[in-house]
Amino acid sequence: MSEKKRTYRIMISGGGTGGHIYPAISIANALKEMHPDTEFLFVGAKGKMEMEKVPEAGYKIVGLRISGLQRSLKLSNLMFPFKVLFSVAKAFKLLKQFKPDVVIGVGGYASGPLLHAATKKGIPTLIQEQNGFAGLTNRLLAKKVDKVCVAYENMERFFPKDRIVMTGNPVRTDILSTEGKRTEALKHFGLSADKKTLLIIGGSLGARTINNAIAEGAERLVNEGIQVLWQTGKFYIDEMMERTKDIDSKSLKVLPFIKEMDLAYAAADVIISRAGASSISELSLVGKPVIFVPSPNVAEDHQTKNAMAMVSKEAAEHVSDSEAPEHLVKESILLLMDGQRQELLKENLKPLGKPNAAKDIANEVIALIEK
């Protein structure tokens, strides 16, 4: 009679943005699928979006009073050392209470104190770095943790080579199945099968530069016989609807948020997107031609570095945020009219997709526990 496996106890820490939270949830889901009785405790930063998103996904989360240093001279920076000390103390307390077999960090403020405490206590640790340019928290932790799961090549610039595992970034499984959905997708969004479709996604909150460029150039796109499926983000929907109200609504679909992303991807011939790590990982699996417009408002300009890693492989096009007002619509039209270029980008993009990333990371976690 085989011995019953014990219940694994796993702590996952990090957050601040969807780019950290969704991979964390995907890893937990993959582990739960492999070992259904696994017990999880997430650790986030109080007041950040993980405190809402993680419970929505069905997991328990505890918050630390931690935040980043502000780039400008602010009074809150004086509190930073105290927040770190209090958070590290609470992290030690949580580790003592929960007794995890392994601690996972996905980047963001909260993962620093917890991973630091875990390494001090000799608990097995793993970090997952989503970007091509490693975040500060993960760079500081790299020499102390047991494994570093990455999504880009040449990450030995930041991490010890013997601890790096190339897994890719975990993505939402619902977007993987776009095959054979084009007819359904066009019908769903009220689009024509006879026209090329440009999909614009600036993230769930939207991207002002991209939105402004599309609002200015929407009429030109429609006049070129292109139909536009445009997610503006909830903050911009009213303004963008007003600015484009005189353009034929059959060819211009303006939405605050697109829930059915599998259908949006299936309908698209070319996609305009920011260059966050999760977006790049998703779009690599979708395998459609992309123009990346990296956000300049992120730490260490990592979106530009992500995008340029794709451009260097001729797997995507790039328009900088500052050049978008003048060049984005023009570049979109050129790409939509160039079938040969589209095929080359698709061919080079698809091999970069890692559909089993969450499962591969889960296997690394289990190997650490069983070691």
Residue 235 · residue 205 · CB < 8 Å: yes
SS (H, E, C) 20-62: HHHHHHHHHHHHHHHCCCCEEEEEEECCCCHHHHHHHCCCCEE
Q: What is the secondary structure of 199-249 as a DSSP string?
A: EEE--TT--HHHHHHHHHHHHHHHHTTEEEEEE--TTTHHHHHHHTTTS-T
Whether 18 has a binding-site annotation, put simply, is yes
- How is the beta sheet containing 125-129 ordered, strand by strand? 61-64, 39-45, 9-13, 102-105, 125-129, 147-150, 164-166
Q: Identify the helix (H) or strand (E) that includes residue 254.
A: strand 252-255
Task: Count CB-CB contacts under 10 A for residue 159.
Answer: 21
- How far, in Å, CA of 16 to CA of 135, rounded? 13
Q: How far apart are the first and last CA of the chain?
A: 23
Whether 19 has a binding-site annotation, put simply, is yes
Name the burial class of residue 304, with classes exposed (0-12), middle (13-18) and buried (19+) by CB atoms within 10 angstroms of its CB: buried
Residue 267 · residue 191 · CB < 8 Å: yes
Whether 204 has a binding-site annotation, put simply, is yes
Task: Give me 175's structure tokens.
Answer: 């977007």
Cα–Cα nearest to 336, from 294, 292, 290: 290
Whether 258 has a binding-site annotation, put simply, is yes
- How far, in Å, CA of 63 to CA of 234, rounded? 27
Residue 116 · residue 142 · CB < 8 Å: no
Whether 172 has a binding-site annotation, put simply, is yes
Task: Give me 31's structure tokens.
Answer: 């582990």
Whether 363 has a binding-site annotation, put simply, is no
- How far, in Å, CA of 109 to CA of 68, rounded? 6
Tell me the CB-side half-sphere exposure of residue 173, using CA atoms within 13 A. 9
Annotated binding site: 17-19, 131, 172, 204, 258, 303
Annotated binding site for UDP-N-acetyl-alpha-D-glucosamine: 17-19, 131, 172, 204, 258, 303
